[in-house]
Amino acid sequence: MRTQIAIIGSGPAGLLLGQLLTNAGIDNIILERTTKEHVLSRIRAGVLEEGTAAMLDTTGAGGRMHSESLPHDGFDITFDGRRHRVDLFELTGKRVIIYGQTELTHDLMDKREASEALSVYEAANVQPHDFESGRPHVTYEKDGKVHRIDCDFIAGCDGYHGISRKAVPEKAIETFERAYPFGWLGIIADVPPVGDELVYANHPRGFALCSMRTPTRSRYYVQVPADEKIENWSDERFWDEIRRRLPEGTAEAMITGPSVEKSIAPIRSFVAEPLRFGRLFLAGDAGHIVPPTGAKGLNLAASDVNYLFDAFHEFYLENSSDGIEAYSQKALARVWKAERFSWWMTTTLHRFPDQGTFGQKIQHAELDYLFQSRAALTMLAENYVGLPY
């Protein structure tokens, strides 16, 4: 079998890239090691930058997003029992959109099926080969047989634990990583959100976040130690704890109910350099991870896809390799700015075990200054809505 682009991974990055390529008449095949149902069962991000939403529109899969998403012009940060609003639209002229990653993935899967582009699910032992040469190929196993796909390029969109980055020789890649000493305990409940916009909370007991997926489905998080066990948290304990971390009026307005999903996510920062190895390219979580505090994970994957699609489009339609050569540098420049912002949001809003009283005073001063300075608020708003591609 032969294709122009072999895409490893059927998450948002792989599906978005695949649909853009298909629309442009560039042949591609997506390989996914799990089932379609498993991909759709993963609970992930829900805040989309305008650039990400525009790319979904470009694929032709944005219709449901526009009818069901929740546009947000700002969000709140609480500390010292006070609630402060960050007016994104007033500061930048832009807003963000609340739309679950699962829904976006579903829309892109439906669009791909309608386009009759090929996705192979339950493709075991996927392995990229010869990507440093001019004749790369990918092998995988399915139905007891080994299959081979010859291609021009390989796009590794298979996440942090995927094979694409692992296939790169150790000497050819450098990684930068920071593991944080806490995680996010998150629940989803079919109850109305506590407010119309997101609420980020800094509290002596730890960070909390009040988010939502729809007007009747809420997503809530509390900071917990990195080694915390999910079985230690009943729904009742969770609701009691998040209320303690919110201003009194916000806590009183919270409607509780049984959780429909509960999990603990570790928090880390990670970047691999470069993102291109001959004819193999890393995109999304395969190349970088950000703490979820800044809502950048899915949006960074989309910006990678933007650069990578432009590079492939230029190669096939303009007979130029300039975009191919520049991909890693362009993508990483935006990645590191998002890493910086996500690190800043994380260190400003969370309590660290070794923070001490001095660190707490510095954190308080940072937040106090933030809401006394339009320049500081603009920095926050510009990064939150998404820096230009």
> Which amino acid is residue 210, in one-letter code?
C
Which is nearest to 157 in space by CA: 169, 149, 165?
A: 165
d(CA 296, CA 289): 9
Which is nearest to 194 in space by CA: 256, 108, 265?
A: 256
316 is catalytic: no
Q: Which two tokens stand for residue 122?
A: 């339950």
Phi, psi of 119, deg, nearest 5: -125, 135
> Is the Cβ–Cβ distance between 261 and 198 less than 8 Å?
no
CA-to-CA separations, 244 to 237, 334, 349, in angstroms, rounded = 11, 37, 16
Task: Considering the candidates 140, 307, 327, 384, report the single residue annotated as catalytic.
Answer: 384
Q: Which two tokens stand for residue 131?
A: 């990507």
Listing DSSP states for 343-368 in one string gives: HHHHHHHSPPTT-HHHHHHHHHHHHH
Task: Considering the candidates 288, 296, 330, 350, report the single residue annotated as catalytic.
Answer: 296
Cis-peptide, bond into residue 193, ω within 30° of zero: no
User: Going by C-beta distance under 8 Å and a sequence separation of 6 or more, which residues neighbour residue 173?
Assistant: 165, 272, 273, 274, 277
Task: Considering the candidates 136, 247, 291, 292, report the single residue annotated as catalytic.
Answer: 292
Q: Which two tokens stand for residue 198?
A: 């997101």
200 is catalytic: yes
> Is the Cβ–Cβ distance between 20 and 305 less than 8 Å?
yes
Listing DSSP states for 114-125 in one string gives: HHT-EEE-S-EE
Task: Considering the candidates 72, 111, 137, 330, report the single residue annotated as catalytic.
Answer: 72
C-beta neighbour count of 236 within 10 angstroms:
9
CA dihedral of residues 84, 199, 51, 325 (deg, nearest 10):
100
d(CA 32, CA 9): 5
Task: Considering the candidates 99, 140, 180, 200, report the single residue annotated as catalytic.
Answer: 200
166 is catalytic: no
296 is catalytic: yes
129 is catalytic: no
Which is nearest to 129 in space by CA: 137, 141, 140?
A: 137
C-beta neighbour count of 67 within 10 angstroms:
7
Catalytic residue positions, numbered: 72, 200, 292, 296, 384
